Structure 1
């Protein structure tokens, strides 16, 4: 029982960092597709909740503690600004599970002051979409024999 809890907790915590981990690791752990999708979305939404509510505090208090002299415009920040200007809230929420990490996407939308309800809705919808696509893609690869379980 304790091992099962640790298994689910570990994959959930990885989902908080990057949404692709549960679809890749879930089949090896013996999880069903529904469990994998649920854990993926739960991890994504946990990151979004934490970083959306604490995003400004993290940016002003915690990051300067670790980075003494932050660069104003690094290549990474320029890319984030370009993504935001080009695609807006919907585009960032769409790209967060795919390209950005859940903390990165949540910090980006929190930094620009996007409406929280809109962010939560789009992150949930796109998180479900990507989790389903990835889970069934990995399942198809396993079933077709291209990848071993």
Structure 2
């Protein structure tokens, strides 16, 4: 039980920063799909909750610390704004696990002034969806003999 808990907490900690760590490391640890979903979603949602409720403070103090002259609209910010204009909150939330990080997606939504309830709800739906999709995909991909031989 001690090894299981240490493994679970290690994967959980990595999911605070990178979503993909949950499905990949969960599968490597021999977790069932429901365990992969639980560890991945709980890790992402911890980051989402933390940065949602401390987002305004973080944004205010972060801008004071960083005084470099950066271009206001980089290629990345233009792409985020384009996604925002086309798909709104759910577009950003859907792309957070795949392209952005849990922290990055939450900070983007917070900076757009989205209600905390909407951020948490959309991120939760996205986290559950992507953890199931990635968990099943990794399992199915490793049934291919070439890939299975590389893994073991």
TM-score past 0.5 threshold = yes
Residues in 2 aligned to 1:74 and 1:55: alpha-carbon distance in whole angstroms: 21
- Quick one: structure 1 residues 37 and 61, their matched pair in 2 at CA, closer, same or farther if it must change by over 3 Å? same
User: Which residue does the alignment assign to 2:90?
Assistant: 90
Q: What runs of 5+ residues in structure 2 fail to find an aligned partner? A: none
Residues in 2 aligned to 1:57 and 1:39: alpha-carbon distance in whole angstroms: 28
Asked if structure 2 preserves the Cα contact closer than 8 Å seen for 1:64 and 1:70, the reply is: no
Shift of 1:88: 0.9
Look up the SS of the partner of 1:143 in the other structure. coil
- Cα RMSD over matched residues? 1.7
Paired positions, count: 148
User: Which residue does the alignment assign to 1:14?
Assistant: 14
Give CA-to-partner distance per residue, 1:26-52, whole Å, 9 cap, x none.
122122211111111111111110111
Shift of 1:63: 4.8
Residues in 2 aligned to 1:139 and 1:47: alpha-carbon distance in whole angstroms: 26
Look up the SS of the partner of 1:100 in the other structure. coil
Asked if structure 2 preserves the Cα contact closer than 8 Å seen for 1:92 and 1:105, the reply is: yes
The aligned runs of 1:19-38 (5 Å cut-off) are 19-38=19-38
User: Which residue does the alignment assign to 2:77?
Assistant: 77
Q: Give the TM-score normalised by the residue count of structure 2.
A: 0.87
Shift of 1:4: 2.6
Q: What runs of 5+ residues in structure 1 fail to find an aligned partner? A: none
User: Which residue does the alignment assign to 2:67?
Assistant: 68
Look up the SS of the partner of 2:12 in the other structure. helix
Q: Give the TM-score normalised by the residue count of structure 1.
A: 0.89
